[in-house]
Structure 1
Amino acid sequence: MPVVSFGDIGKAAKGLLGGDKPTGTFSFDPKLSVSSTTASGVALTATTVQKADKVEASLKAAYSTKKYSVDVALSPDNKVTATASINDVAPGIKLTTSAVLPDPATAKLTLDYSMPYLALKSTIGLNASPVVDVAASTGYQSFVLGAETSYDTAKAAVTKYNFALGYHAPDFQVAAHLTDLTKTLKLIYSHNLTSTSTVGAEVTRKLATSDTTFALAYARKLSNGALTKLKLDGSGALSALYETKLQGGEKVTGSLQLQATDLSKPVKYGFAVDLA
């Protein structure tokens, strides 16, 4: 089995605390998504989000086979992001190219290489002075160790380097991330208490200033299939989520956030509707 990639070290914990499909994502702005698939297999998704008195719309079209995938996305600022991938160019190798149109200088080429004890991802900008990103990870059994760096050829300097160490067991994950040029240490943890409930925690410490923040989360799937989640962070913000599917297959998510340390502050709330 291929080793976990650098970006997926502590993935379950990051998803629980930051939002993902299995445990839900907090949404404090009204959001409507409509998805459908054409007879030819093209998946279309239209999304509108209301932020204050402004409505932002985006559109995405995607097509994939076992060998190829192509997707085109139109963002609210009318920029088009096009991405194309080819799997198994050689054993364990995947190539991806992307660009944000109409600016050709944003074009990038990404190589993913995966084997039992090494996962490598390298991205290079297709322009005169590219930024080169490299991420690698290796592991044994449940342990995984990884690092990533960026080199800016225009500045002739390394602009980023991060490290991560994780342990992925069937029922829990724990990871330590050293980021921000080794100035920030982040510890994350998630544990499946049962087949329907998960808890997680995150502690972030700025090593130079000793500033520390934390977050706690709990997610549970109810007997009716609905999903609930609670999250408390160090600032006192308490967030709650309820997600359910209607009989027609529509997914509805409601989110609520209040300041637990100061109940006089206004409550934030929002909802998201996904029509498939």
Structure 2
Amino acid sequence: MGNGPAPFSDIGKRAKDLLTKDYNYDHKFVLSVPGSTPMGLTATGLKKGQIFLGDISAQYKSGRTIVDVKVDTYSNVSTKVTVHEVMPCMKAVLSFDVPDHKSGKLDIQYLHPRVAIDSSIGLNPSPILNLAAAVGGKEILLGGEVGFDTASASFTKYTAGISFNKPDLSAALILMDKGQTLKASYVHSVDASNNTQVVAEMTHGLSTLENSFTIGSAHVLDRYNTVRTRFSDNGKVAMVCQREWRPKSLITFSAEYDTKKTEVAPKWGLALALKP
């Protein structure tokens, strides 16, 4: 399984993470308490405008089974049960929300040395079906994804993609939005130590002929500090500064400025993650 293809969702993921991960424009706080027992707790707080949102998550591990429960500010309860190796090379995930009785969903992931398959079905009278498959290896990955709404008997999505990956570069091409949009991304390590990376992502509307692009970079300054930047054709410039001041405990500062709306104040956010 370790030498088999990655899931279809991994196509273009490296560029997407560099351009979007940890960009947060609110005040966010995360406290994680793994503990030495199978039970772990995580508390998250987020100040959005004048509203403070928070949730508490608990995770319980027992053998091949993991149970995650999250309670948010409005007392909504989300539960996810993951069973690894339910069959050889297969993982099953059951998720549902309370009190939404129609939110249940079953995900099955099958990882084989030559193919990776992800499928999901909503547990309600008119479910939405999703199926994704990828073939290839560590360097070349080819796959597709379809979604089908049984209520309307129509396809909700169909996507195809291919990616090429090396330790120092990654390129991906994805046909998405039911064949209406073509997205290309590229990540390249400038130095041999991978301390500096550049990334570019471009989308082209096949029917509208509209183009958009985003470029960015990531720099590992030292073992504790990293900086990432991002610039989009819509005039927005953003950056992330992250410091690991103790093992797995991070403080992250994010900022974004719209150069086309100079009268609007820049957005900024501060995130603090603590893990004992």
Residue of 55, 69, 80 corresponding to 1:83: 80
Q: Distance in 2 between matches of 1:154 and 1:263?
A: 47
Q: Is contact 2:144-2:160 (8 Å) kept?
A: yes
Q: Distance in 2 between matches of 1:73 and 1:27?
A: 21
Q: Is contact 2:69-2:79 (8 Å) kept?
A: yes
Q: Is contact 2:6-2:137 (8 Å) kept?
A: no
1:22 paired residue number: none
Q: Is contact 1:10-1:168 (8 Å) kept?
A: no
Q: Distance in 2 between matches of 1:113 and 1:252?
A: 36
Number of equivalences: 271
Q: Distance in 2 between matches of 1:167 and 1:93?
A: 25
Matched, 1:48 2:54: no
Deviation per CA, 1:89-143, whole angstroms, max 9, x where unpaired?
2211111111011122211111111111110011111121111110001115621
Q: Distance in 2 between matches of 1:77 and 1:184?
A: 37
TM-score when scaled to structure 2? 0.92
Q: Is contact 1:60-1:74 (8 Å) kept?
A: yes
Structure 1 pair 263–224 and aligned structure 2 pair: CA distance change class (3 A): farther
Within 5 Å, which residues of 2 pair with 1:1-276? Answer: 1-19=3-21, 25-64=22-61, 67-140=64-137, 142-194=139-191, 195=193, 196-247=195-246, 250-261=249-260, 263-276=262-275
| Alignment-mate amino acid for residue 26 of structure 2 | D
Q: Distance in 2 between matches of 1:275 and 1:122?
A: 34
TM-score when scaled to structure 1? 0.92
How far 1:45 moved relative to its partner? 1.0
How far 1:199 moved relative to its partner? 1.0
Structure 1 pair 106–192 and aligned structure 2 pair: CA distance change class (3 A): same
Q: Distance in 1 between matches of 2:45 and 2:113?
A: 41
Q: Distance in 1 between matches of 2:52 and 2:27?
A: 9
% of aligned pairs identical? 30
Structure 1 pair 14–65 and aligned structure 2 pair: CA distance change class (3 A): farther
Q: Is contact 2:4-2:137 (8 Å) kept?
A: no
Q: Distance in 2 between matches of 1:82 and 1:241?
A: 32
| Alignment-mate amino acid for residue 250 of structure 2 | K
| Alignment-mate amino acid for residue 51 of structure 1 | K
Q: Distance in 1 between matches of 2:74 and 2:212?
A: 33
Could you list the structure 1 runs, at least 4 aligned residues long, displaced by more than 6 angstroms after superposition. none
Q: Is contact 2:181-2:205 (8 Å) kept?
A: yes
Question: Pairwise CA RMSD of aligned residues?
Answer: 1.7
* SS of residue matched to 1:40: coil
Q: Is contact 1:45-1:60 (8 Å) kept?
A: yes
Q: Distance in 2 between matches of 1:80 and 1:183?
A: 37
Q: Distance in 2 between matches of 1:211 and 1:73?
A: 41
Larger deviation, residues 211-220 vs 33-42: 33-42
| Alignment-mate amino acid for residue 89 of structure 1 | V
How far 1:75 moved relative to its partner? 2.9
| Alignment-mate amino acid for residue 19 of structure 2 | L
Q: Distance in 2 between matches of 1:250 and 1:91?
A: 36
Structure 1 pair 116–160 and aligned structure 2 pair: CA distance change class (3 A): same
Q: Distance in 2 between matches of 1:248 and 1:183?
A: 44
Q: Distance in 1 between matches of 2:224 and 2:249?
A: 13
How far 1:213 moved relative to its partner? 1.1
Q: Distance in 2 between matches of 1:248 and 1:147?
A: 38
Q: Is contact 1:237-1:258 (8 Å) kept?
A: yes
How far 1:58 moved relative to its partner? 1.3
Q: Distance in 2 between matches of 1:78 and 1:185?
A: 40
* SS of residue matched to 1:106: coil
Q: Is contact 1:34-1:275 (8 Å) kept?
A: yes
Q: Distance in 2 between matches of 1:79 and 1:180?
A: 31
| Alignment-mate amino acid for residue 201 of structure 2 | E
Which runs of 5 or more residues in structure 1 are unaligned? 20-24
* SS of residue matched to 2:16: helix
Q: Distance in 2 between matches of 1:66 and 1:199?
A: 41
Structure 1 pair 35–145 and aligned structure 2 pair: CA distance change class (3 A): same
